[in-house]
Structure 1
Amino acid sequence: MKSNGISRRAFAAGALAGTGLLAACGNGIGSRGGSLIDARVDATLNEMYRSYPNTVQLAQKSNGMLVMPLVTEAGLGFGGAYGRGALRVNDATIDYYSVVKGSGGLQIGAQQYAHVLFFMTEEALSEFRRSPGWAAGADLEYVVSDEGDSVAADTTTALSPVLAAVFARAGLRIGATLEGTKYTRIIP
């Protein structure tokens, strides 16, 4: 018996096709994926080195750097942030990562910023790479201050296993913190 609506078989085929299309949109199929992330990483590193010259030495001394070129954060009561970037070792991309952050409390607005994590010890880099989802904690040392000044690498920062530089495209993000931020390996 024929009905005026669509058949179950047509509905199921359409639903599967739609699911595949949504999955393709979310995982980078059909986009430049890794090459686009790498281009953004290169631009971010150039900007950081130009704006904060002390980071050049840190990059040379580090065992690896996680570069997140653009993190978008928004909130209205509850907030969140998301971005994608690359882990670089010896100036070569090793893996791609996403960053996710959730927050709650009195907040409203949106902002975008970039950040770079410097892994100063081989142990810190290995721990990050082995982790299924690494979370940044309060033990990070920041090498770019809230006032927008570069902080010189001193004995304190030189002994820290992970250092962070957080900066914005149009200047410094005031009060920037990476606490509670989770990094997960992705396939772009």
Structure 2
Amino acid sequence: MTHFIKKVATSLCLLAGILLAPQALAEDSYAQAKSTFQQANETQKFFNNAYGYALFPTVGKGGIGIGAAYGKGQVYRTGTYTGDTSLTQVSFGFQLGGQAYSEIIFFKDEKAYNEFTSGSFEFGAQASAVAINIGANAQAGTTGNSAGAGKSAAKAAYINGMAVFTVAKGGLMFEAALAGQSFTFEEK
């Protein structure tokens, strides 16, 4: 990602911060975010069987025409913290507003883990995530990353060795934009 795009992404994430409620901007602990995902029926089997996962307690997203998202996370292999990761996303198209959400990416096996932790990984624009609605009978839909959703409760599966889930934290954003998420990884 070029220096210019990173500056645009950073500026738009600051805009998202202005648009979001203060409680949504508060940095959650990794333990709290993990607990939130563990409470969801959709992710329990993944915690029990995944080779590893990347956890982002707070991802801020905002845009007016051009959008951006940013979040910092930690990567785990067989339950052990192995390094830090960052998520950036730049999108173009009709969009307005800001939101905050938590995200978790499960790795089915060592191959998927190694692909993600190779230093620079990117989801394509066609990837999707299961959006979990905690406390509202766990209805799910799709939003931008790497799993699928069923009609009522999420029926997620690994796609290309990864399954992605998000939980909304706050904000409001209307968009019709294609975008991929890019990740960096630094081993601890």
Normalised by the shorter chain, which TM-score bucket?
Answer: 0.5 to 0.7
Q: How many residue pairs were aligned?
A: 146
Residue identity in the other structure for 1:90: T
Cα contact 1:146–1:174 (8 A) shared by 2: no
Q: For 2:58, what is the secondary structure of its paired residue?
A: strand
CA RMSD of aligned residues (A): 3.3
Structure 1: give runs of 5+ residues left out of the alignment: 1-36
Cα contact 2:68–2:88 (8 A) shared by 1: yes
Q: Could you tell me which of 96, 101, 114 is aligned with 2:89?
A: 101
- Greater relative contact order: 1 or 2 (C-alpha under 8 angstroms, separation 6 or more)? 2
The alpha carbon displacement at 1:137 in A equals: 2.2
Q: How does 1:56-135 map to 2 (within 5 A)?
A: 56-130=44-118, 132-135=119-122
Distance 1:40 1:65 in 2: 16
Cα contact 1:143–1:150 (8 A) shared by 2: no
The alpha carbon displacement at 1:91 in A equals: 2.0
Q: For 1:137, what is the secondary structure of its paired residue?
A: coil
Per-residue CA deviations over 1:111-156 (Å, capped at 9, x if unaligned) read 00111101112111111112x2100125646444318954235xxx
Quick check: 159-168 or 105-114, which moved more?
Answer: 159-168
User: Which residue of structure 2 lines up, in the alignment, with residue 137 of structure 1?
Assistant: 124
Question: Post-superposition, which runs of at least 4 consecutive aligned residues in structure 1 deviate over 6 A?
Answer: 173-178
Larger Rg: 1
Residue identity in the other structure for 2:79: D
Distance 1:65 1:91 in 2: 8
- When the two structures are superposed, what TM-score results if normalisation uses the length of structure 1? 0.65
Distance 1:174 1:108 in 2: 5
User: Which residue of structure 1 lines up, in the alignment, with residue 141 of structure 2?
Assistant: 146
Structure 2: give runs of 5+ residues left out of the alignment: 1-26, 132-139, 143-148
Q: For 1:45, what is the secondary structure of its paired residue?
A: helix
Residue identity in the other structure for 1:151: A
